[in-house]
Chains A and B, each alone.
Chain A
């Protein structure tokens, strides 16, 4: 199959593209910078560029759309432009180009209004109640993607929950950086039960989705490892893998959420580019339980995660061991 992967320079996108290459598909990628995926043809450009998008989708039979603005801060218009309009543009071009299948990679946060989630499936995306610009715009994009689903133009949404792995800058590096400076608190007692997705599993689920469009088009599926853990234990596991001390002080979740909201505003107002130390979204993610019913997902995708949480942590540890060895070697 000829498959276009957008956003293949990110952690997950790259893994998806590599997996498709390994499976023997003709893989093209589309993002602003070269993907670095061996065996794939890179198209470079932003999803905000009509012509670039039209060029990239030409000849593709399937598209996996990961390109998005993933951040906790920034002007709302940027999120709208990339996540909503970018998706709209891609869908339009894809349909015009005769593409058959589109997998829209989404996030469980599109249906999360901030309350704890215990064992639910994929609830409908809800832009009105989603917290933060990222979730809001992903929710809008998912709705319009699924609305485009048709027998000859099949669209499905896959929502991997908290993807992490070696090289992950979103969660792992942030946790390690802050924990090493002892600036990572446990929110409440660190008891929030949280499911996550090891990057290889997220990639294989997304690829499985492309193969199972017949069964899943028109729907959204949450994907996770199916191994929920209390967040304190999870963070301790990541810290242990990265060789830094685990968080040992706690902060009430309510305080963190309030502080996060303030910090977010200040950061945006000050126009700072680097990610803020705490955001409301992050505080929510780390202080409320989120874990999902995976039974239907696994059955529909005919897929099970190949890498367990503990295996994933072991790989992470291996990654940091070799990385620090390399550092030592360089110095």
Chain B
């Protein structure tokens, strides 16, 4: 409700509510209550007047009975206004909850007491208030900033009431080995503190400025309203002064009681976090999750300290309440039945089926078997020779030694270890060593770009970082968390600069001999094993968490589908599969290339790698293969001979056009060319060979198979995988709940398989959306089946264009346009409001256009005609010198950016580059 006037019924201590026009604020919520204080700071018999926002009266007027009460506690220097979205949502009859958002004493519109209330007083104050309110029934606390600590203190003191806790950017513990955040240090500095927090409104202004996107002026005004004048800001200053910077602080014991008490708190917990917070950064989230390991966590990438302003938190809170809140609270059976966060990953050994073989099982078998002395792994030097070959026995021993060394260094089950080592011998050793220890490997590749990589690493808060020199340098500069371990020994000075504790080499030496003696500790198949990252071409890269069982299932699926067994010899030019080599019992070699840039793989490097091990299998990305074709003239006669020995080529990540496959076939004449389809969350899902692609294209052209065409044919589901679609609605979403596999029905693609990810890492909401259909993973891709049971992928759900009367999936038209000889890469995008969007084709031309902007009329005509043949009516054709693509695959076009650019050009602006 906007633009309302109201005033409190009293003028106690000048805390009169002023004329307001506060967005999202309903004056009906505002009330005051007089409360007997039992806090030590007050004389017995003192009465304090509280202001709070409470939708209870509103609910009892016209709502059904609330499911419980949300007790919301703001931090410093905000007030109950922070929680207005929860109040509004609680009043929604669809999910009625009473929401009580308090103004703490000396804050907001509550009484200015003239006292200095410390943490213990404030926790007690809140108890006095809830006693006075007579709260009964289930209570879920919600806290932000120091209000988080106070809300938790209340929760620990009221176990009979509390059925859940929700935390947003807060902290309960200052790790002794680290300083408090610089921003707080400044605020606490004696020279700054009184002026910065009380005399001036600087502290308020700075806090409000942390919102991202920036707060509108009227909302900033609302936050400022109760704090006009230094007299009304004493509480702000006292709050800051009450932050226990060290153990000598009077409030330290109270804080410590809360921090330690948390470990006993068994009620469901939800943490909603804005990582762009100069105070409550990810390390405090990590600390909290270590105390409440069962918590559901959602990090809103890009959001900051005022996460309740930056993002819609009402939706996740109420969705979470629907699962965890309510009358039976912690007794709710769903808590047990639907494992979320990391909760479900542990203690699940009773679910272990027979026949689970950990990822490293075959590796050990090979080492112990007759081929134990043969080469297992090598990496190619730029001069074309095989460097650092290790036999199966050597590889096994190195892994065991390094694992023992890592254990000594403190790596254990559940430790997160970020591996920033390029594919090759070192990465393989580090990876398998960590897995054997039950540690969780975090594999973020440079393909995310520096910013994306940094965001990904910080978001997973690794305990350890094993990296090459370059990665360690980046870690220092960008402030990546984790104890640092180098790959090679470094000079002492360099070690100091990079903050490196030890090297893998030293760990291996230390662990030598120790490893063999120690009993191999049995791995829990349901424990988390790895965090991989999505490519980030559709928003910030998401961490994807796999358990040991899921990794093993991926290995088994690859083995079954492609018949890769012990004795296979593979060139590993593509990271995700490359790591599977030893797990498959296959000999693997990494070609000489810069893995951060797939386009650096040359035909010669590929041939050298193949020759080094008489390779039978090649894994490579489409971008790498394009470059292999470009450089094919550099292959020697011996190289060609080696390439002739290749029996299988696997390329995943993006489709490869038929003409390119035909050229590859000439280079690898004996190889069966396969382009499996999958995603970071499930790999592989379907498979198709070059011959099958040709057959599908022919049938599509001839129209002999129902549903064949309009998309990229990705073949049929691989071993053990089920695929279905949820049909698209006219608004371009897939709202249904009934998966279908009928030919010709376009919908969001669903996958069910043993090797589908366990969960998104610290993305509770995303995980929930991806599993909204029980038993299925929603891929966010759209496609359809044809009459022969083949899947055709039509694009991303988020990229579907809703033109008047037509839902347009992009890939069909893009393929049609790309068949024009003057177009290298096409993207279909939509501009304008959903449901009546204009379809825009953005083309990268051959030769590249000089300037980005509207295509010349003749080209536009050809593109429009081509699209129309695919059934798509194009309004505008724009040409660009180069499509904006992702780094990892060099194939996924940044549509969001492209749409924004197209909207600008088509509104009549100067084009510029997309």
Name A's B-contacting residues (CB within 8 A): 116, 118-120, 187-193, 226-233, 236-237, 246, 252-253, 287-289, 291, 293-295
10 A/B residue pairs, CB under 8 Å, sorted by A: A118-B906, A187-B908, A189-B910, A191-B911, A192-B908, A227-B875, A228-B876, A233-B860, A288-B908, A293-B804
- Check if B52 is an interface residue, CB within 8 A of chain A: no
A189 and B911 contacting across the interface, CB-CB below 8 Å: yes
B831 and A294 contacting across the interface, CB-CB below 8 Å: no
- Check if B183 is an interface residue, CB within 8 A of chain A: no
Closest to A287 in B: B908
* Cβ proximity bits B866-886 to A, threshold 8 Å, 1 near / 0 not: 000000010111100000000
A291 and B838 contacting across the interface, CB-CB below 8 Å: yes
CA distance A230 to B804 in the complex (A): 18
A196 → chain B closest CB, angstroms: 12
Given the complex, which residues of A lie within 8 Å of B876, measured CB to CB?
191, 193, 228-230, 233
Closest to B838 in A: A228
CA distance A200 to B9 in the complex (A): 68
**A191-B906 contact in complex given A119-B837, A228-B876, A295-B835, C-beta closer than 8 Å:** yes
CA distance A190 to B856 in the complex (A): 10
A192 and B906 contacting across the interface, CB-CB below 8 Å: yes
List residues 845-860 of chain B with CB under 8 A from any CB of chain A. Answer: 851, 853-854, 857, 860
Given the complex, which residues of A lie within 8 Å of B909, measured CB to CB?
188, 191
Given the complex, which residues of B lie within 8 Å of A294, measured CB to CB?
804, 836
Given the complex, which residues of A lie within 8 Å of B878, measured CB to CB?
191
**A116-B838 contact in complex given A189-B854, A233-B857, C-beta closer than 8 Å:** no
A193 and B875 contacting across the interface, CB-CB below 8 Å: yes
* Cβ proximity bits B361-382 to A, threshold 8 Å, 1 near / 0 not: 0000000000000000000000
B909 → chain A closest CB, angstroms: 7
Closest to B840 in A: A193
B875 and A191 contacting across the interface, CB-CB below 8 Å: no
A271 → chain B closest CB, angstroms: 32
User: Residue A192 contacts which of B805, B873, B907 (CB distance < 8 angstroms)?
Assistant: B907
Given the complex, which residues of B lie within 8 Å of A189, measured CB to CB?
851, 853-854, 905, 910-911
For the complex, would chain B's binding face be called helix, strand, loop or mixed by DSSP majority?
Answer: loop
CA distance A118 to B877 in the complex (A): 16
B20 → chain A closest CB, angstroms: 30
Closest 3 CB pairs of A and B: A119-B832, A192-B908, A116-B907
A236 and B836 contacting across the interface, CB-CB below 8 Å: no
CA distance A188 to B911 in the complex (A): 8
**A193-B907 contact in complex given A119-B838, A230-B854, A233-B857, C-beta closer than 8 Å:** yes
Closest to B839 in A: A228
CA distance A236 to B873 in the complex (A): 19
CA distance A232 to B873 in the complex (A): 18
Given the complex, which residues of A lie within 8 Å of B837, measured CB to CB?
119
CA distance A190 to B905 in the complex (A): 9
Given the complex, which residues of B lie within 8 Å of A192, measured CB to CB?
906-908
User: Residue A193 contacts which of B836, B838, B857, B911 (CB distance < 8 angstroms)?
Assistant: B838
Given the complex, which residues of A lie within 8 Å of B873, measured CB to CB?
227
20 more A-B contacts (CB under 8 A) besides A119-B837, A189-B853, A193-B831?
Answer: A116-B908, A118-B833, A118-B903, A118-B906, A189-B905, A189-B911, A191-B876, A191-B878, A191-B905, A191-B908, A192-B906, A228-B838, A230-B854, A230-B877, A233-B876, A236-B857, A252-B910, A293-B832, A293-B835, A293-B836
B837 → chain A closest CB, angstroms: 7
CA distance A7 to B833 in the complex (A): 36
A195 → chain B closest CB, angstroms: 9
Name B's A-contacting residues (CB within 8 A): 804-805, 831-833, 835-838, 851, 853-854, 857, 860, 873, 875-878, 903, 905-911
A295 and B804 contacting across the interface, CB-CB below 8 Å: yes
Given the complex, which residues of A lie within 8 Å of B877, measured CB to CB?
230
A229 and B875 contacting across the interface, CB-CB below 8 Å: yes
Given the complex, which residues of B lie within 8 Å of A191, measured CB to CB?
853-854, 876, 878, 905-906, 908-909, 911
B725 → chain A closest CB, angstroms: 27
A294 → chain B closest CB, angstroms: 6
Given the complex, which residues of A lie within 8 Å of B831, measured CB to CB?
118-119, 193
B350 → chain A closest CB, angstroms: 56
B314 → chain A closest CB, angstroms: 29
Given the complex, which residues of B lie within 8 Å of A295, measured CB to CB?
804-805, 835-836
Given the complex, which residues of B lie within 8 Å of A252, measured CB to CB?
910
User: Residue A232 contacts which of B804, B805, B857 (CB distance < 8 angstroms)?
Assistant: B857
B759 → chain A closest CB, angstroms: 38
B875 and A289 contacting across the interface, CB-CB below 8 Å: no
Given the complex, which residues of B lie within 8 Å of A289, measured CB to CB?
906-908
Closest to B805 in A: A295
CA distance A229 to B837 in the complex (A): 13
Closest to A246 in B: B857
CA distance A230 to B906 in the complex (A): 7
CA distance A231 to B833 in the complex (A): 20
CA distance A291 to B873 in the complex (A): 15
Closest to A116 in B: B907
B729 → chain A closest CB, angstroms: 16
Given the complex, which residues of B lie within 8 Å of A228, measured CB to CB?
838, 875-876
Given the complex, which residues of B lie within 8 Å of A237, measured CB to CB?
857
Closest to B860 in A: A233
A187 → chain B closest CB, angstroms: 7
Given the complex, which residues of B lie within 8 Å of A291, measured CB to CB?
832, 838, 875
B907 and A118 contacting across the interface, CB-CB below 8 Å: yes
CA distance A291 to B854 in the complex (A): 17
Closest to B903 in A: A118
Given the complex, which residues of A lie within 8 Å of B851, measured CB to CB?
189
B806 → chain A closest CB, angstroms: 12
Given the complex, which residues of A lie within 8 Å of B805, measured CB to CB?
295
CA distance A78 to B296 in the complex (A): 71
Given the complex, which residues of A lie within 8 Å of B911, measured CB to CB?
188-189, 191
CA distance A191 to B878 in the complex (A): 8
CA distance A293 to B833 in the complex (A): 9
CA distance A197 to B168 in the complex (A): 54
Closest to A237 in B: B857
A119 and B836 contacting across the interface, CB-CB below 8 Å: yes
Given the complex, which residues of A lie within 8 Å of B804, measured CB to CB?
226, 293-295
**A253-B860 contact in complex given A118-B903, A190-B854, C-beta closer than 8 Å:** no
CA distance A232 to B805 in the complex (A): 26
B864 → chain A closest CB, angstroms: 9
Given the complex, which residues of A lie within 8 Å of B906, measured CB to CB?
118, 191-193, 230, 289
Given the complex, which residues of B lie within 8 Å of A188, measured CB to CB?
908-911
Closest to B834 in A: A119
Given the complex, which residues of A lie within 8 Å of B838, measured CB to CB?
118-119, 193, 228, 291
Given the complex, which residues of B lie within 8 Å of A120, measured CB to CB?
833
Closest to A232 in B: B854
Q: Of A188, A191, A237, A253, which is in contact with the most chain B CB atoms at under 10 Å from its CB? A: A191
Given the complex, which residues of B lie within 8 Å of A118, measured CB to CB?
831-833, 838, 903, 906-907
A233 and B836 contacting across the interface, CB-CB below 8 Å: no
User: Residue B854 contacts which of A119, A233, A288, A293 (CB distance < 8 angstroms)?
Assistant: A233
CA distance A291 to B877 in the complex (A): 16
A246 → chain B closest CB, angstroms: 7
CA distance A312 to B309 in the complex (A): 52
CA distance A291 to B906 in the complex (A): 10
Closest to A254 in B: B910
A229 → chain B closest CB, angstroms: 7
Closest to B861 in A: A233
Given the complex, which residues of A lie within 8 Å of B853, measured CB to CB?
189, 191
Closest to A252 in B: B910
Given the complex, which residues of A lie within 8 Å of B907, measured CB to CB?
116, 118, 192-193, 288-289
Given the complex, which residues of B lie within 8 Å of A116, measured CB to CB?
907-908
Closest to A228 in B: B875
A135 → chain B closest CB, angstroms: 18
B852 → chain A closest CB, angstroms: 9
Given the complex, which residues of A lie within 8 Å of B875, measured CB to CB?
193, 227-229, 291
CA distance A289 to B831 in the complex (A): 11
Closest to B837 in A: A119
A46 → chain B closest CB, angstroms: 37
